[in-house]
Amino acid sequence: MSAGVVTKERTVTAMVAGEPYLDLPEDLYIPPEALEIFLATFEGPLDLLLYLIRKQNLDIVNIPIAQITKQYMVYIEVMSNFQFELAAEYLLMAALLAEIKSRMLLPRQVNTEDDEEDPRAVLVRRLQEYERIKKAAEELNEIPRMERDIFLATIDTSSVSVHKPKPEVQLQDIVSALQGVLRRVDQLSHHTITKEVLSVRERMVAIMAKLEGCDSLLFARFFTYQEGRAGVVVAFLAILELSKAELIEILQAEPFDELSIRARVGVGND
Amino acid sequence: MTKQSSEPVQQVNKKIKRIVEALLFATEQPMSVAQLQAVFPELERPERVTIEAAVGALCDDYRSQAIGLHKVASGYRFQVKTDMAPWVARLFSEKPPKYSRALLETIAIIAYQQPVTRADIEEIRGVSVSSNMIHTLLDREWIKVIAHKEAPGRPALYATTAQFLDYFNLDSLAAMPPLQELQALALEGEMEI
């Protein structure tokens, strides 16, 4: 087998017995010389495994483990020269696959009391979550951003001469101040509330910021009534989420007392 | 107090509109309504709605121009309309920076799952997160440490900043592209246990 060149466009991976392989061979074997280039196109073992499953219809349950282990050992020898940490991550994945395989080979216990999760299900969930983030990162790369698609329109203000007039109060100013007050009265009687999009994640961050530097705050202090029902719901959800993440504690001094919230001990700004 | 019903709810103050226009062009950073208000001397400080109405009117004025008024997380800013961006890009010989997949995936995890620790990011990506990358993101002010988790080592909890949203031309986290549904991965063979 002679090593082929793995380009980012995945043209020819390898020549096997004179036949060109356009995609990666199903048995995961990559010639050690091509490994460095090959791995550089992947973001780690999850990414590689995802690629193999999606593109090669690789069945993660039926992988020839002995063969793969041998191959991985060769990789590690090669990689120990340059990126041992990377090798460790791939080795961990190989070990996980081997563990799954060996569990599959063992006779199934009929009355297992512990509801241990299927290790494949755990792996599949991780792969799915990774795939979702991978797609999100790709989308993030596509949306317009500064420096590439967004250019600011600004004017050079270095030539503007600053002239500060002395404060002088004139009758007109007083009248306009009165007008301002009247306008304000007007607005109070005719104010409109516009709906703003509220994000629970954003609110979670805002709540943590609010708790910074103070011991605890009353529950009610986290709600802004002007935001209306939606705002209250978002704040409430944010509090529940933070509580679930064990970032805050919801406290009550005694029964029927008012609730208060504080950052968990050990959580705080440095 | 009488109120002329024929008048629009908030009449646009032409002078304030001109001032707002000048201010937004003169600054490099986006300006929020509060920041715009703060520029005015205290005695003649316009109301929030007055500024908002001025911004709205400016937005309309620039609708058909190559420059437009845009709202991002930190406030308003004038920018070249996206369809004209390729022309502006031709002015610069330097290519815009490209971000590695590792960096984009890391910032995506922080944006969608915040607040998260470095271990959370590593768990999802299956590889270790380099300190350099976290430093780059902190230096760029795309992320910040909002707290420390009550766990061994008290790891820092990261969240995204308004500057991150500004950079990606977004006005809130809710404006980010929605996360896709989890896609089924074929599992052959029946599940055991």
pLDDT tens digits, residue range A162-196? 776 666 667 777 777 777 777 776 666 655 556 55
**B124 contacts A126? CB cut-off 8 A:** yes
Same fold, B14-86 and B101-175: yes
Laid out side by side, the sheet with A248-252 consists of A217-218, A259-263, A248-252
B24-41 burial code (b ≥16 CB/10 A, e <16): bbebeebbbbebbeeeee
Residue A217 lies in a domain: yes
Residue in A closest to B42 by C-alpha: A177
Residue A60 lies in a domain: yes
Residue A195 lies in a domain: no
The whole-angstrom distance between A257's CA and the closest CA on chain B is: 27
pTM of structure? 0.63
Task: Give dist(CA B31, CA A129) in Å, integer.
Answer: 37
**A127 contacts B185? CB cut-off 8 A:** yes
Which chain A residues are within 8 Å of B101, Cβ to Cβ?
A: 43, 134, 137
Residue A226 lies in a domain: yes
Residue A171 lies in a domain: no
Q: How far apart are the first and last CA of chain A?
A: 57
Task: Give dist(CA A57, CA A159) in Å, integer.
Answer: 65
Residue A152 lies in a domain: no
A205/A130 same-domain check: no
- Do B62 and B69 meet the contact criterion of CB atoms below 8 Å apart? yes
Which chain A residues are within 8 Å of B147, Cβ to Cβ?
A: 208, 212, 247, 263, 267-269
Where helices occur in A21-64 by DSSP H, the ranges are 32-40, 45-56
Interface test with B, best of A90, A201, A203, A242 (most B CBs within 10 A): A201
All structural domains of chain B with their residue ranges: 14-86, 101-175
Task: Give dist(CA B25, CA A154) in Å, integer.
Answer: 5
Which chain B residues are within 8 Å of A160, Cβ to Cβ?
A: 26
- Do A7 and A36 meet the contact criterion of CB atoms below 8 Å apart? no
Predicted pLDDT at A84: 63
Which chain B residues are within 8 Å of A89, Cβ to Cβ?
A: 126-128
Question: Which class for B1: exposed (0-12), middle (13-18), buried (19 or more C-beta within 10 A)?
Answer: exposed
Secondary structure class of A191 (helix, strand, coil)? coil
Alpha-carbon B54 to chain mean position = 22
Element (H, E) at A3: strand A2-3
Nearest to A133, CA basis, from B118, B111, B42? B111
Judged against a pLDDT cut of 90, whether residue A231 lies above it is answered with no
Of the partner residues A43, A149, A187, the one whose CB lies closest to the CB of residue B102:
A43
Residue A125 lies in a domain: yes
* Averaged pLDDT of chain B: 87
Which chain A residues are within 8 Å of B77, Cβ to Cβ?
A: 152
Dump the DSSP string for B12-28: --HHHHHHHHHHHHH-S
Judged against a pLDDT cut of 60, whether residue A40 lies above it is answered with yes
- Do A56 and A24 meet the contact criterion of CB atoms below 8 Å apart? yes
A13/A124 same-domain check: yes
Which chain A residues are within 8 Å of B73, Cβ to Cβ?
A: none
Take residue B183 and report the two structure tokens written for it. 């896609």
Where helices occur in B6-130 by DSSP H, the ranges are 14-26, 33-39, 48-61, 85-89, 101-113, 118-125
Establish if B77 touches chain A: CB-CB under 8 angstroms: yes
Residue A146 lies in a domain: no
Half-sphere exposure of A196 (CA within 13 A, CB side): 17
pLDDT tens digits, residue range B164-180? 999 999 999 999 988 87
Range of the domain at A66: 2-106+118-134
Of the partner residues B111, B147, B172, the one whose CB lies closest to the CB of residue A197:
B172
- Please say whether the structural domain B14-86 has been given the CATH code 1.20.1560.10: no
- Do A67 and A39 meet the contact criterion of CB atoms below 8 Å apart? no
- Please say whether the structural domain B101-175 has been given the CATH code 1.10.10.410: no
| Domains: count for chain A | 2
Interface test with B, best of A138, A145, A204 (most B CBs within 10 A): A145
Chunked in runs of 10, what are the mean pLDDT values of chain B (193 residues)? 46 88 92 94 91 93 92 94 89 86 94 93 90 93 93 93 94 88 57 39
- List B residues 18-57 in contact with A (Cβ-Cβ < 8 A): 25-28, 41, 43-44, 47, 49
For chain A, percent of residues with pLDDT exceeding 70: 59
For chain B, percent of residues with pLDDT exceeding 70: 89
CATH number, position A231: 1.10.10.580
